[in-house]
Amino acid sequence: MHVQPGDRLNIDDPILTLETEKAAMEIPSPVSGKLIELYVQNGDKINEGYDLCLMEIAETDTKVEEKEKNTEPQKKNETIKKEKSTQITQAQRKPIESKKSDREFFNTSVASVHASPSVRKLSRELGVDLNQVNGSGMKGRILPEDLKSFVKAAMSGNIVGVQSALPELPVVDHSAFGDIESVPLSRIKKISGPRLQASWINIPHVTQHDEADINYLEQLRLDLKKSYKSDGISLSILPFIVVAVSQLLKQMPDFNSSLDEKNSALIHKRYVNIGFAANTEKGLMVPVIKNADQKSLKEISQELVKLSEDARNGKIKLEDLQGGTFTISSLGGFGGVGFTPIINPPEVAILGVARAQIRPIMIKGKFLPRLILPLSLSYDHRVIDGVGGIQFTTALKQMLENPESFLPEETSDG
């Protein structure tokens, strides 16, 4: 139900949503007035001819009806004037609940707009006034693509004076409750914030979680760490993950792709550029390791160190922050058992890595201490389905548990 008893409705304001097995349709109010009583509740099943609600017609609406029906007999007009209520009937439905505050924000006067019920529903969910949207369909009918293009243009700033596509948050005077301090956001956060918000709103995120037993990988890291130290490299687990992911992306190109501007084709990239999250005093930055699939473990380790230092010192170059095809966000050094990373568009996936922990794992009938690494893969559900997500995390898990599969030279030397 979109309304409650006591609500005042205008013509074409939605009363409820009817759903059948094949379609959903909104039932608009044919008159302006006050809703007196609802005869149905959420979840009810009804048939054609059932009474849905009782409304008291507004005087102004009665006058409009009189003018529209001035060709009818005078006696019928007098009957309309005296009528105080009307009953509305429709077919079987399964309604969607909505709070009154949301309805007040989303409802707009679109009586003169040519659009289907589904488009009208989408416009209310996005907070868009259909009167401001140009329809590309027959006789100016607004199509779903028109609505989506309008929202994208509004968010990119190409349309001025447009109401936000989202309801505004309430403004709170925090000083009314105690002393406060206002700390300006850093330039990086001001730039990344809107990008993250746009990513979360526009991309249907799905996050797949898994765990990898990295006991053998950790032993290999400790063995190599001694030789890497002489080159000034403090070897972490991240370079190993970068190497494994780089090889895996060649096998699963959908994860190393982007949607085109019309979201109608997938652009597979024949290069692998891995971005990694680097924490700095000014905020999170994502330097990019170019052609990671063509570099050795030591080369990637050196580049990770250099790019991280440049980011922290504010000396990172713009080209070192561009061109990524896949991102790895490693928070293992800070703790946590898992998280949901936000995709960095135009990429379609991002891997989150949390802190590895020693846990008892049943192996051949015995509990043994094993080092377990949590993995969280977020992906664009328009491009990758659930099976693809699981296949990626499963393959990565197998690679990390068997270092010789992607590091034959390092494991043979060890």
Computed over every residue of the chain, the mean pLDDT equals: 82
Residue pair 355/335 in contact by the 8 Å Cβ criterion: yes
How many domains is the chain built from?
A: 3
pLDDT score, position 81: 45
pLDDT-based confidence at residue 370 (cuts at 50, 70, 90): very high
Residue 263 and residue 399 in one domain = yes
Measure the CA–CA gap between 151 and 135, rounded to whole angstroms: 13
pLDDT surpasses 50 at 125? yes
Q: Is the residue at 24 inside a domain?
A: yes
For residue 226, tell me if it sits in a domain: yes
Q: Percentage of the chain with pLDDT > 70?
A: 80
The span from the CA of 214 to the CA of 402, in Å, is 8
Is residue 184 in some structural domain? no
Residue numbers of the domain that contains 347: 205-413
pLDDT band at 19 (very low <50, low <70, confident <90, very high): low
Measure the CA–CA gap between 192 and 183, rounded to whole angstroms.
Answer: 17
Q: For residues 138 and 329, what is the distance between their CA atoms, to the nearest angstrom?
A: 47
CB 273 within 8 A of CB 289: yes
Q: What is the CATH number of the domain that holds 248?
A: 3.30.559.10
Bridge partners, residue 366, by sequence? 363
pLDDT of 97: 40
Asked whether the beta carbons of 298 and 255 are under 8 A apart, the reply is no
**218 and 343 part of one domain:** yes
Rounded Cα distance between 198 and 152, Å, is 10
Residues 124 and 212 in one domain: no
* Closest to 240 (Cα-Cα) out of 374, 375, 400: 400
Closest to 378 measured CA to CA, from 166, 126, 196: 196
H or E element, residue 360? strand 357-363
Between CA 235 and CA 251 the distance in angstroms is 26
Average pLDDT over residues 91-107: 39
Q: Is the pLDDT of residue 30 over 90?
A: no
- Residue 255 makes CB contacts below 8 A (sequence gap 6+) with 248, 249, 326, 348, 349, 379, 384, 388, 392
**What value does the mean pLDDT take over residues 21-28?**
60
Is residue 196 domain-resident? no
Weakest-pLDDT range from 135-144, 178-187, 337-346: 135-144
Mean pLDDT of 224-243: 91
Cα→Cα distances 202→199, 209, 339, Å: 5, 22, 20
| Site of tokens 């009818």 | 72
Looking at the fold, whether 323 and 221 belong to one and the same domain comes out as yes
- Dump pLDDT digits (tens) for 195-207: 898 899 899 999 9
Catalytic site includes residue 381:
yes
pLDDT-derived band at 183 (thresholds 50, 70, 90) equals very high
Q: Looking at the structure, tell me whether residues 154 and 214 fall in a common domain.
A: no
Please state, in angstroms and rounded to a whole number, the distance separating the CA atoms of residues 2 and 12: 12
Give residue 122's pLDDT: 83
* Same-domain check for residues 212 and 118: no
Per DSSP, 312 falls in state H
DSSP of 36-57: EEES--TT----TT-EEEEEEE
CB 143 within 8 A of CB 137: yes
Query: Does the residue 307 lie in any domain?
Result: yes
Same domain, 74 and 214: no
Q: Is residue 182 a part of any domain in this protein?
A: no
- The answer to whether position 257 is within a domain reads yes
Model confidence at 96: pLDDT above 50 = no
Q: In terms of domains, do 56 and 150 share one?
A: no
Q: Between residues 119 and 63, which one has the greater pLDDT?
A: 119
120 — pLDDT class (breaks 50, 70, 90):
confident
Residues, the chain? 414
The mean pLDDT value for 126-143 works out to 83
- Shared domain for 239 and 353, answered yes or no, is yes
Residue 400 falls within a domain, yes or no?
yes
Same domain assignment for residues 253 and 271:
yes
298 falls in which pLDDT band (50, 70, 90)? Answer: very high
| Average pLDDT over every residue of 364-393 | 96
User: How far, in Å, CA of 101 to CA of 57, rounded?
Assistant: 23
Band (208; pLDDT cuts 50, 70, 90): very high
Residue 313 and residue 404 in one domain: yes
Considering the domain architecture, whether residues 232 and 341 belong to the same structural domain is answered as: yes
SS3 176: helix
- The C-alpha atoms of residue 371 and residue 356 are separated, in whole angstroms, by 6
Q: What is the mean pLDDT of residues 328-350?
A: 93
Domain boundary residue, one of 145, 160, 175: 160
- For the four alpha carbons of 321, 148, 351 and 347, in that order, the dihedral sign comes to negative
pLDDT at 105 over 80: no
Query: What CATH number did the domain enclosing 156 receive?
Result: 4.10.320.10
Indicate which CATH number applies to the domain containing 79: 2.40.50
Specify the higher pLDDT residue, 190 or 71.
190
CA distances, 257 to each of 271, 274, 380 (Å)? 10, 12, 11
d(CA 35, CA 58): 11
User: What span, in angstroms and rounded, lies between the C-alpha atoms of 228 and 238?
Assistant: 14
Which secondary structure element, helix H or strand E, spans residue 106, and what is its range? helix 100-106
Q: Which of 237, 250, 248 is nearest to 276 (CA)?
A: 237
